[in-house]
Structure formats: C-alpha cells, structure tokens
Chains A and B, each alone.
Chain A
C-alpha cells in the first residue's frame, strides 16, 4: 500500500530533474531555425518562364491567383504566343496547399521560405508580378463545371435577369387552383 503523497513526490522529482535539462525554447524573432527543404512558404513566380497556361489559376481552390493573358511575340519567332501580362497572387486568400506548384508544367511558380505576411490593408497582401496590375478582388472564372440536369442548367445561366419572370407564371396557376 503506497503512502499518501508518494505519487506527488515522484512527480516533483521528475520536474526537479528537468531543471537541469537543456533549454528548448527559442527566442523566435531573433533566432530563426532553418526551414526544411519542403517547407511551404509564400508563393512566388518567375515571370520569364511563365507560359500563361492558366493551369495554376484553374486548380487554385481559393481563387487566389488571377492572370491576365494576352498574345505576344516575345521570342521574335514571328508567332504570337500566350503571354501573362498581369499576374497577381492574393496572399490573404492563399492556404499554401501547393496544388498550383504541382500542376505548373514549367516550374515557374514555387514556394519561398518566407512565411511572415502582414499588412494594414487586405489589398496590400496581393502581390503583383506582371507588367500590368490585376485587380485581385475580381474572382477569376471558376473552372469547375457542374453536371446538372438540362432544366436546372438553363435556370442557373440566366442569373438575375431570367429568374424573376420565370417565377411569375408558376405562381399564377397555383393561385387559381387554390381559389
């Protein structure tokens, strides 16, 4: 039968041993540890290599990449090719999932080791990479296409304009039935 208080004393002995241990707390802003190779920090783009294929923009789940695409004969071959004249990454939306990095065929978008993003304004977090700034508040066209029944799809495309007149005739026969 162990005596009362023995367990507490045993625990105190363990904590006492730990007084002499090496300190493991790091003074963060002064001391920064090396990040591993795979660490996912803020995104950056090498615009010289970008071929404006828009794959990163389409796969991004948070719509944080917007690209303005034009055609330009950049290498002087006489054949205009797609060219990203505007490229914005909105860090206030990015969740560092790395899907855009994996999908890029020329490896021009990649993670840096930087992870400290702060600003007084949300728009300051949108970083422009192209020649022409792109408005980050406008969502790029979502690439997702939902398979819907034919009737529903037509209603969805109509948006505000068609929705109102369609409802009116549907209500009228109901009223007559009730009367």
Chain B
C-alpha cells in the first residue's frame, strides 16, 4: 500500500479523491462514499486473467489492488519432479508470447551447473531466434495497446507479422508456439536448408512494412496521442524504487538492459543500442517498443551476415546430473529481466527452480501509478506494462 507521505504527494485530483488518498473518511453532499468495483478477472483488456479491485470516486481511481493467481499452474513445483531436460517444455508455457527467452534462461542456469561450453553456432542461433521472438512479442504488444484504445486495424497488421514469424519458427523448431528448441547444451537442430536466406528476405520485407504500414498507422494519430501522452507518468527514481525492468524502466530514461550490461551468449559480439525514452509515460513505452523492434532487426542482420559454422550441440552424456550447487540464468525477455535460479542436489531432478518473471514485479506499477487516473486510463497503463497472464502467475 501507499505510505502516508506518498499519498499526500498525489496532486491534481478532485478534492474528495485527494481527501480519500490522504486517508480520511469522505462523504459528498448526498452522503455517498467512494465506489468499490471489480475489474476482471474475465475482462478483455486484462491481458489474461487479472482482477483489479478498484475504488472509484466518480471516474477517478482512488485505489487499485491487483489480485493475481487466476492462472497459477504450479510451474515451480512441477519442475522439481521432472528430469532436467524435461523441464524445458514447461518453461515454454510461462510467458506464452515470448517462449524462446523462457527456455533460454533455464538452459543458461543449468549449463552453469554442468560447466558445458556452448558452440559458437548454437550461441548465434539462440540469439537469432531470441530476437525473432522479441519482434514476435513486441509487435502484437503495440497492437494490443491500440486494440484496447479502440483501434482495431493495428492488431490485424501485428498478427499478420506474428503469423509470418511463427511460420519461420515452425520450419526451424517444429511448432508454432511451444517451440522446445533451446536445449541444455545447445539447440535442438541446425537451421534447415536455405533458412538463413529466407530469414534475410523476410527481415528486409519486415523493415519496410514495419515503417510504412505499422508505425505510420499509429504515429501521429491524434486520438492515440491524446489517450497516451502523460498517462502513467513516472519518474526514473520511482521506477527504480519499484524494481521495474524492461520497457517500463527504459521508457523513463534508465538505460538498463541485461543483454548490454550482463551479456550472455552471442550478445557479446553484437552491436546494438539500448533504446530509452525520457517521457516515462505510455507514449514513451510505445516508442521504446518500436525502437527495440528496429534494434532486433539490426541484430538479426548482423547474426545472419556472419553465422559461424560448426556443431549446434555440446557433447554431453545422455543422463544429465549437474554438480551440487546453484546456477542463475539471466536473460532480457521482451517484458524485462527474466531470471531462473536452479538449485541442484546432484540427482536427476532439480531440488528447486525459481522463475523470476518480469511481469510479477512490473505489476506493482498498477498500485502505484493508477490512483489519480481516470478509469479508462487503466487500459493504456496495462499496455505500458504489457503483462502476460502465464508469466505473472507461473
């Protein structure tokens, strides 16, 4: 909950709302108090299953408490009862919009315990597919934001691109969503014949389509600007205090990116910028996502230009028995910093697996930022966080 000092900091509210935020009991001239209302869990704009307990003063939100847990599937406990390689398909189902990063984090953690060295080609393919996964997640995110603001066309264009990238993934991994491609020690299989050329062709087409169709459709639209500019405004200090990562942090101007600051895999060899935006509101987060898609396109081109040759799987025994101890894998998923902590007791199965998903942490933003906004501003703020139900509940 908000502390007393921070409650009184809230400005530009109606007198009743600010009085309620200051903690006093309020009644208007008709003897009416504020209204408690539930938003969700079954709500089209709640990115899955999320219930918000709202306290409303007219149309102004005074209090917003998110209730999580409607999609809890006990991923951490299930992971304890499976052999190490069999946990990878479970991680796919955590963040179902950006699955490949979820596999990547778990495999990095277990590889630290096994002390295996990943071949350069496997590392490059991992980074390549990870960046495709980021594009596949960011473009629909912007589309969903527009959909919740009432614009239907961008989501169609977004899903057209997502479908095309899914077809690439299907040819490489064999599945359209639950890839199970990154394995402990490398990747499942090498890229199919002629795939790098197809990817290059696609990414060049995407570059022009993205700028001419998708961005032009949204950018400069007056309704979009009116609904997003200044909404969900926060300072970098507040964002750091809440422990935000990913786009919600970078849109306030803090240039933190795990790929840049704690480079893993092939990202050491890549040249890219950390996209930030000084605005710190929903419009800034939109610009960050658009910029990150452009950086991903740049990275994919760099990887495809000099793709190393060689094996894609490290030489390991069939039965994986990591040494006793613990390993942490940190990756930058499309939503922020995703980390997996694996504790091993030397047996076939992990002793404990913890998934630190960015959505759970970024969700705090709702409690802190939403009070003081109008009720319809919750949708753009959800678009700023861009959570995924599977990721915050695990």
Write the residues of chain A forming the contact surface with B, with a CB cutoff of 8 angstroms.
Answer: 2, 4-8, 10-11, 14-15, 18, 24, 35-40, 59, 61, 95-99, 102-103, 111, 143-147
* Residue pair B349, A146 in contact (C-beta under 8 Å): yes
- Alpha-carbon separation in the docked complex, A7 to B160 (Å): 23
**Which partner residue on chain A sits nearest B89 by CB separation?**
A97
* Residue pair A7, B219 in contact (C-beta under 8 Å): yes
- Give the total number of A-B pairs whose CB atoms are below 8 A apart: 89
Which residues of A are found within 8 Å of B318, using beta-carbon distances? 103
Asked whether any CB of chain A lies closer than 8 Å to the CB of B31, the reply is no
Which residues of A are found within 8 Å of B192, using beta-carbon distances? 36-38
A-B contact pairs, 19 of them (CB 8 A): A7-B221, A7-B224, A8-B222, A11-B153, A14-B213, A14-B217, A24-B160, A35-B170, A37-B171, A38-B170, A38-B172, A39-B170, A39-B175, A95-B89, A97-B178, A98-B174, A144-B82, A146-B347, A146-B349
**CB-contacts of B153-191 with A (<8 A):** 153, 160, 170-175, 178, 180, 188-189
Contact of B220 among A2, A61, A102 (CB under 8 A): A2
Which residues of B are found within 8 Å of A97, using beta-carbon distances? 86, 88-89, 178, 180
* Residue pair B178, A95 in contact (C-beta under 8 Å): yes
Which residues of A are found within 8 Å of B220, using beta-carbon distances? 2, 6-7, 10-11
Mask: chain B, 93-118; 1 = CB below 8 Å from A; 0 = not:
00000000000000000000000000
Which residues of A are found within 8 Å of B173, using beta-carbon distances? 38
* Residue pair A147, B346 in contact (C-beta under 8 Å): yes
Which residues of B are found within 8 Å of A103, using beta-carbon distances? 318
Asked whether any CB of chain A lies closer than 8 Å to the CB of B218, the reply is yes
**Which partner residue on chain A sits nearest B345 by CB separation?**
A147
* Residue pair B153, A145 in contact (C-beta under 8 Å): no
Which residues of B are found within 8 Å of A111, using beta-carbon distances? 174
- Alpha-carbon separation in the docked complex, A139 to B225 (Å): 57
- Alpha-carbon separation in the docked complex, A35 to B166 (Å): 12
> Chain A at the B interface: mostly helix, strand, loop or mixed?
loop
Asked whether any CB of chain A lies closer than 8 Å to the CB of B85, the reply is yes
* Residue pair A7, B222 in contact (C-beta under 8 Å): yes
Which residues of A are found within 8 Å of B224, using beta-carbon distances? 7
**Which partner residue on chain B sits nearest A15 by CB separation?**
B153
- Alpha-carbon separation in the docked complex, A172 to B212 (Å): 78
Which residues of A are found within 8 Å of B170, using beta-carbon distances? 35-36, 38-39
**Which partner residue on chain B sits nearest A35 by CB separation?**
B170
* Residue pair A61, B222 in contact (C-beta under 8 Å): no
* Residue pair A144, B81 in contact (C-beta under 8 Å): yes
**CB-contacts of B281-328 with A (<8 A):** 318
Which residues of B are found within 8 Å of A18, using beta-carbon distances? 213
- What is the distance, in angstroms, from A114's C-beta to the closest C-beta of chain B? 14
Which residues of B are found within 8 Å of A35, using beta-carbon distances? 170
- Alpha-carbon separation in the docked complex, A40 to B175 (Å): 6
* Residue pair A11, B221 in contact (C-beta under 8 Å): yes
* Residue pair B219, A38 in contact (C-beta under 8 Å): no
Which residues of B are found within 8 Å of A24, using beta-carbon distances? 160
* Residue pair A8, B217 in contact (C-beta under 8 Å): no
Which residues of A are found within 8 Å of B221, using beta-carbon distances? 7-8, 11
Given contacts A10-B217, A14-B217, 9 further A-B contacts (CB under 8 A): A11-B218, A18-B213, A39-B170, A40-B175, A59-B83, A61-B89, A98-B188, A99-B89, A111-B174
